[in-house]
Amino acid sequence: MNKRDKKCESVHEDKRVELQSMDDVLAHVVGSHGLWQCILLCTGVIGLPPYEMFSIFGNAKPNVRCRMQDDMESLLQNKTFEEATQFIQGQPTNLDVVYSYLPECYHRLSGKLNSTEFGSLSNLTYASLYTPVVQRCPNGYVYEPRKDQYPSSVIESFDLVCDRAWLEPFSTTMFMIGMLLGFYLGGWAGDRFGRRPTIIFWYTLGTTTGFLASFSPNIACLCLGRFILGAADSARLTVLYILVFELTIPKWRSILCSFWTMLQSFCARAFVAFLAYLIPDWRWLNFAMTGVGFAGVVYFFVGPESPRWYLARGESKKALDVLVSGYRYNHFGQCPPKEELARLRTFTEMVGSRNTATQMDAAPDAETRRKRGFVYWIKSTSMWEFFRSSELTRRIILGSLVFLCHIYCYFGLLLYSNHVRGNVYLVTVINSATALPGTLLSCALYRIFSWRKRPIIGVFTSAFLTSLVAAVCTLTNVDPKDIVLTICVGLSLLMLESGMDMIYIYIPELFPTLLRSKGLGFCAGFARLGSALCSFTNALDTSIGHGVPIAFYTVSIALVVVAILPLPDTRGYELEEIVERDKQLEWNSSEQFGSSISVHRV
């Protein structure tokens, strides 16, 4: 039998496969890894500018000194910035004195000096030139960009120094808080209104805010803009990731999700560094990032709704239309043959009618809803479904702990090792490139093994061991030059990057379709608390001892392994579709939630 005959036989064999799940439909009819999935993935990445990278450039810290009177400033023009700073600060008579604010926030020049004396400073005595009392800067500040750093900064634009210095990290904190809120709102809206409407809404809001934030007149407007950008960014990310996740099968899920990570974590971030190199102004940099993301408007015309979501709601006709559209994309405009169309229609009607009947049987009548009022509304919300079953409750708690500990140690180690004194653009590209080997590792592991949980445990165990070696060598001062620390932290970051790719595949598989987006959003949003804590942990390196933060991160990695162990191994099974409550459950105050629960798979 020649190759052509074998190929034809394989095609006929695919046509004879009984369509029992959505994975069968994608694998044997529509296509699980074709042009349809690639278009969605690329438009998703293009429409998601990595706004978290803005802080690296827009929040660059310049050199600062007091701005003096105009006559004095004219004299200081002939001096370097360091000489001018040293001159106006003077030398304190008491070297042990501790001031309540930073050196750049004060000067010690005598207020009795007049403009006629500026030309003969060499004739002035130290006592007549300086005062023993430290004085605040009377006329604002003078800034100078640091070598190899971004030349423009929100710090200079809004004078975020001295008593206003807390507003600089606060803008980043607002972005992280926005991301926390966005994960929850995106997850809820994606399950409630559908994947496509949620993506379009947050894309429109995020793009509009991105353009407006570029022209913020004050720090308050910028913080508000960063907050909305964080919410829009994480909301779109959650739902887009779930949509890509649901339009393929377990065999190709790791490949597509890894490709997503490579584009988002490396290509997009490296491109931002390139934009920053070309555009030396933070306002136009933010505008350019949003302008590139505007290309994501293509999703309005080609982005589909999830057929799994339609079927979970019993909307078989809409699910069929989406599958036919996907077939045409993957087969370059060809319509499905009548036989294939009939198989798709039979499958969608069967699954849709089954889910409709299940939801109707599970829901109480109008009279019961009226009597129960607010209590019924609380119990009937999809978020409450996580607590109707002890199994789902256990999964959401452990999944949140996995995400929290992972993000905590990942960003902690990344920030801890990111003290390289060098060109900011080159350092950013190198840091972004660490996503490549980690992503390739996760992709290879999920292609080789059918397990989901075991490779994750192996990766995090490796990260734990390398972090443990780094902590021991640093705390015992065995490695005074931090060579072992640098190598081990790099290996840990590689493993943690790989682990992040895998838990973004594994955790959503633990939840049924109607709860999947919300489940991932809840876990990923909860993890933002970890990214807020890691900066305080890194401060322990100077307050307690060198290497102490590494010990905290080592314990955090160990907690990830402990949290994953009790979770089930999905092994790439078909995705759960809905949670079916027993028909005999009574909707009253004595109802025992989680007493009976089963799932359909699609």
Q: Which two tokens stand for residue 415?
A: 């920030």
Residue 273 lies in a domain: yes
pLDDT at 447: 75
With tokens 């490796």, the residue in question is 462
Burial of 77 from C-beta contacts in 10 A (0-12 / 13-18 / 19+): exposed
Q: Are residues 384 and 435 in the same domain?
A: yes
Q: With left for phi above 0 and alpha for psi between -120 and 50, is residue 300 left, alpha or beta?
A: alpha
pLDDT at 602: 38
Q: Three-state SS for 240?
A: helix
Residue 24 lies in a domain: no
pLDDT in tens, 246-262: 888 877 877 787 788 78
Q: Name the stretches of the chain with pLDDT < 70.
A: 1-17, 90-102, 110-132, 352, 355-387, 415, 417-422, 431, 479, 513-514, 517, 535, 539, 542-543, 571-602
pLDDT at 586: 34
Q: Are residues 254 and 287 in the same domain?
A: yes
Q: Are residues 48 and 71 in the same domain?
A: no
pLDDT in tens, 523-581: 877 887 887 777 677 767 766 777 888 899 999 999 999 999 988 877 655 545 444 44
Angle of the 316-330 helix axis to the 35-46 helix axis, nearest 10? 100
Looking at 144, 168, 203, which one is the last position of a domain?
Answer: 144
Q: How far apart are the first and last CA of the chain?
A: 36
Q: Are residues 343 and 392 in the same domain?
A: no
Residue 20 lies in a domain: no
Q: Are residues 125 and 53 in the same domain?
A: no
DSSP secondary structure, 365-382, as one string: PHHHHHHHTHHHHHHHSG
Residue 349 lies in a domain: yes
Q: Are residues 452 and 327 in the same domain?
A: no
Q: Are residues 400 and 467 in the same domain?
A: yes
Q: Are residues 411 and 553 in the same domain?
A: yes
In the chain, the number of structural domains is: 4
The CATH number covering residue 552 comes to 1.20.1250.20
Q: Are residues 344 and 377 in the same domain?
A: no
Q: Are residues 113 and 206 in the same domain?
A: no
Residue 8 lies in a domain: no
Q: Which two tokens stand for residue 222?
A: 């910028």
Residue 408 lies in a domain: yes
Q: For 135, list phi and psi in degrees, rounded to 5.
A: -120, 140
CB contact set of 507 (below 8 Å; sequence gap of 6+):
399, 402, 403, 519, 520, 523
Q: Are residues 355 and 440 in the same domain?
A: no
Looking at 303, 319, 348, which one is the last position of a domain?
Answer: 303
Residue 597 lies in a domain: no
Q: Are residues 293 and 315 in the same domain?
A: no
Residue 434 lies in a domain: yes
For residue 579, the surrounding DSSP H or E stretch is: strand 576-581
* 90: containing domain: 63-144
